[in-house]
A and B are shown apart, each in its own frame.
Chain A
Amino acid sequence: MQPEPGETDPRPRSATPAGRSASVEPGVPGLLRPLAGRRADRRRFEWRGYMLLSPGLLVTSFVFAVAMGILLSYSFREFVDGQIQAGHSTATWRDFLTSSFAWSVVGTTLKLGAVTVVFAALVGYPMALALYRLRRRTLRYLAYFLIFSPLLTSVVVRSYGWALVLGDGGLINNLLQRWGFVDRPVRMLYEFSGVTAGLVHILLPFMIFPILSSLQQLDPILEESAADLGATGWKTFRRVIFPLTVQGLIAGSQLVFALAISAFATPALLGGGRVQVLAGQIYTDVGGLDWPKAAVGSYVLLVLALAAIALFSVLLRAQTGTRRATWEYSR
């Protein structure tokens, strides 16, 4: 259904893959129906949507609200002499916000999220494009399986697998030494690089899937038209394919960043205490019964995740706006 001029698109953005705006899709049959009928349709659609959404929304929001409420209460308590003190105070927040160690952990967490997104995008986009181009069904299914197989195994198993590959006596160092590239093992395990490698592998499907989804929405005629007009393959990619799929890239980045900054097992197993992230710090605080500090850490992590989601949403909105403007202009 095409929206009227000056009227917002009734379909929620999430209803279209990778947040594509419905305004770019041609399709006019809805315009032939009377306006009142279309409004009634829209109301019915919205009502059904809310009904479908409400059970899940109620459960998740209730659990989330209760958990965050309890955490908020704990964050204003203090852990002294092995005991959580009865009264409320801002001491734990003050300790956290003035601790250079806490800020270094926040910095490492953000850096890990950003670097993982960059590498996942660099590896994921070409892979998604290759999957899109694959015409042989067997090959395509095999590629799907290989790419999504990390999700079929436990994150702990995958991380231990990486530990065997990246270790001083691991596969990579063995090959590097055998081929004479290095004299002594290159330190990858228990370093930032090792954690990044593990996270990129584990989170790659979350980058590939939204990009692939965007690619599958592309009208093949656009590429053909570009070729007919004399554009090279690179130019077609740069001017047509990439701009039309950048929303998938942003959506994938959003997912990967949120998952990377909250990752716990991989940094713990591959970081070996050298890569301190907020999730790991929260875990050790819970184990040490310093629940007020764990609560503060949880809120900081939540704020980081929300800020990142907001940033990516702004990017997504800007991109949608650009595309809508392009569509309006071309019309």
Chain B
Amino acid sequence: MPDPIDATTGKRLSRREVLAAGGAAVGALALGADPVRAATAAPYRRRAPARVNVKMFVFLGGALEVMPRRFKDWYERSHPNVTIDIYANSNTVGYPLMVAAKRQDPTKPFVNMGFFNAQTSAQGDLDDMWQVLDYGSLKNAKDIYPAFKRGNRKGIGIGADQLGLVYNKNGVRRVPRSWRDLWNPDYAGQLTFFDYYWQAVYAAARLNGGDLRHMTPGWNLWRQRAKQQIRTIVTSNPQYVQVLTNGTASLTSYFLGTATQWIRQGAPLKYVVPAEGAISVPVYLQSVKGNTPQQTEVCQDIIDKMLTPTWCGGWMNTTIEVPANSKVKLPAEFARMAGFQKRTIDRLWKPNYQVVAKAIATWRRQWDQDVKGRI
């Protein structure tokens, strides 16, 4: 006869615990309660909860780390059996490590849960990286806007940043207003991009008769204009802000949240919502496949707690992102910002990130050849 296993914790039960569970079940039957729940809950209550360690992926960078770190402190205080390790990096750098770990041993994920942007979340779908979340058991999921819930229930949104135009107030003669200004000769030699910025190509494609599945007009345009327009391509945020503030380049397209943080730190920059609409970049909370049942339970609980108006609002305040929870109240400062206006939100471009993830190799090759290779 196989040894009895505790369904809640997955651990073997001792003979004494089995007897206690049996007694509890009999007692429960006599009182008309659910005997299965009573049998499994009785020994679990009597034992100190097992220690669980969870590694959380958070975005690297001052303001992006604030809310997760505060949450970690709070959660560890209120759940003494749980420890949370934070792994801070960009999705671009950290995600390949997750893939490598999964290939090596699918039961030992590199991180257990964390924050992932829409593109990485879509890439994770292709790599079968994420666990399906039980939206029904997430108490706060009912307050989350439908746009932040994923069809496959792999992850749930906590907020959304947006990509628009960022310029140096002292470096341009005319304030940029449109995506077209990125290839406008008035800004020749003043442009900088992050390495592999397919969004610039997407904007060019969309405004010239193409779309996400038909990017040729965008590639054609940048093939012709890259040399004339782009001064430099950067690979890190510190480099980005340095280039934009020291006069090397004056115009780019980047995140509202990051640009606002730079502005708060004193950079002479300004964020503009392009006339045609900004590009939406939702951020999702994901639980990673390969977690132990205990880790899965804790990750689901962490995600649920992060969706509360308190923590979701905290994420909004520090990262300057549109909150996913409908009960979060916008501070007056945010309500005045162009990026948070209803008109802006209604006109956001929402690319299909599944298409983006599938096209990454082809687009990157074209980016290297047609854009980077020509500047």
> Which residues of A come within 8 Å of B, CB atoms?
79-83, 95, 99-101, 104, 163, 167-169, 189-190, 268-269, 272-274, 276, 281, 284-290, 293
Q: How many residues of B contact A (CB 8 A)?
A: 34
Q: Decide: B368 and A281 in contact? CB cutoff 8 A.
A: yes
CA distance in complex: A83, B375 (Å): 29
Q: Is B50 positioned at the interface, with any CB of A under 8 Å from its CB?
A: no
CA distance in complex: A203, B373 (Å): 27
Contact (A190, B232) CB under 8 Å given A288-B364, A289-B96, A289-B99: yes
Q: Is B357 positioned at the interface, with any CB of A under 8 Å from its CB?
A: yes
Other-chain contact of B92, A79, A80, A287, A293 (Cβ < 8 Å): A287
Q: Decide: A273 and B360 in contact? CB cutoff 8 A.
A: no
CA distance in complex: A285, B361 (Å): 9
Contact (A82, B123) CB under 8 Å given A168-B248, A276-B373, A289-B96: yes
Q: Decide: A82 and B234 in contact? CB cutoff 8 A.
A: no
Q: Decide: A290 and B361 in contact? CB cutoff 8 A.
A: yes
Question: Which B residues are in CB contact (< 8 Å) with A269?
Answer: 235, 239
CA distance in complex: A118, B61 (Å): 40
B120 to chain A, nearest CB (A): 10
Other-chain contact of B369, A83, A101, A169 (Cβ < 8 Å): A101
Other-chain contact of B360, A82, A100, A163, A169 (Cβ < 8 Å): A82
Question: Which B residues are in CB contact (< 8 Å) with A285?
Answer: 364
Q: Decide: A288 and B196 in contact? CB cutoff 8 A.
A: yes
Q: Decide: B368 and A101 in contact? CB cutoff 8 A.
A: yes
Besides A168-B247, A269-B235, 20 new A-B residue pairs in contact (Cβ under 8 A), listed by A number: A82-B361, A99-B369, A104-B373, A163-B242, A167-B248, A169-B246, A190-B248, A269-B239, A272-B232, A272-B243, A273-B233, A274-B232, A276-B372, A284-B195, A286-B96, A288-B360, A288-B364, A289-B123, A289-B360, A289-B361
CA distance in complex: A104, B375 (Å): 13
Question: Which A residues are in CB contact (< 8 Å) with B358?
Answer: 81-82
Other-chain contact of B196, A81, A104, A167, A284 (Cβ < 8 Å): A284
Q: Is B275 positioned at the interface, with any CB of A under 8 Å from its CB?
A: no
Question: Which B residues are in CB contact (< 8 Å) with A273?
Answer: 195, 230, 232-235, 372, 375
A73 to chain B, nearest CB (A): 12
CA distance in complex: A163, B235 (Å): 14
**1/0 contact trace for B135-155 toward A, CB 8 Å?**
000000000000000000000
22 intermolecular pairs with C-beta atoms under 8 Å apart: A82-B123, A82-B126, A83-B126, A168-B246, A190-B231, A269-B235, A272-B231, A272-B232, A272-B234, A273-B195, A273-B232, A273-B233, A273-B234, A274-B233, A276-B368, A284-B195, A284-B196, A284-B368, A287-B92, A288-B360, A288-B364, A289-B99
Q: Decide: B364 and A82 in contact? CB cutoff 8 A.
A: no
Question: Which B residues are in CB contact (< 8 Å) with A82?
Answer: 123, 126, 357-361
Question: Which B residues are in CB contact (< 8 Å) with A81?
Answer: 126, 358-359, 361
* Interfacial residues of chain B within 348-369, with CB under 8 A of chain A in the complex: 357-361, 364-365, 368-369
Question: Which A residues are in CB contact (< 8 Å) with B231?
Answer: 190, 272
> Which residues of B come within 8 Å of A, CB atoms?
92-93, 95-96, 99, 123, 126-127, 195-196, 230-235, 239, 242-243, 246-248, 357-361, 364-365, 368-369, 372-373, 375
A255 to chain B, nearest CB (A): 26
Question: Which A residues are in CB contact (< 8 Å) with B243?
Answer: 272
Q: Decide: A288 and B361 in contact? CB cutoff 8 A.
A: yes
Contact (A79, B361) CB under 8 Å given A190-B231, A273-B233: yes
- Chain A's closest residue to B369 (CB) is A101
CA distance in complex: A103, B96 (Å): 26
Question: Which B residues are in CB contact (< 8 Å) with A189?
Answer: 248
CA distance in complex: A272, B95 (Å): 24
A191 to chain B, nearest CB (A): 10
CA distance in complex: A163, B240 (Å): 12
Question: Which A residues are in CB contact (< 8 Å) with B361?
Answer: 79-82, 288-290, 293
Question: Which B residues are in CB contact (< 8 Å) with A289?
Answer: 95-96, 99, 123, 360-361
Question: Which A residues are in CB contact (< 8 Å) with B242?
Answer: 163
- Chain B's closest residue to A190 (CB) is B232
B367 to chain A, nearest CB (A): 9
Question: Which A residues are in CB contact (< 8 Å) with B127?
Answer: 83
- Chain A's closest residue to B189 (CB) is A187
CA distance in complex: A290, B369 (Å): 16
Question: Which A residues are in CB contact (< 8 Å) with B96?
Answer: 286-287, 289
- Chain A's closest residue to B245 (CB) is A169
Question: Which B residues are in CB contact (< 8 Å) with A83?
Answer: 126-127
Question: Which A residues are in CB contact (< 8 Å) with B246?
Answer: 167-169
Question: Which B residues are in CB contact (< 8 Å) with A104?
Answer: 373
CA distance in complex: A270, B101 (Å): 32
B323 to chain A, nearest CB (A): 29
Question: Which A residues are in CB contact (< 8 Å) with B234?
Answer: 272-273
- Chain A's closest residue to B248 (CB) is A168
Question: Which B residues are in CB contact (< 8 Å) with A169?
Answer: 246-247
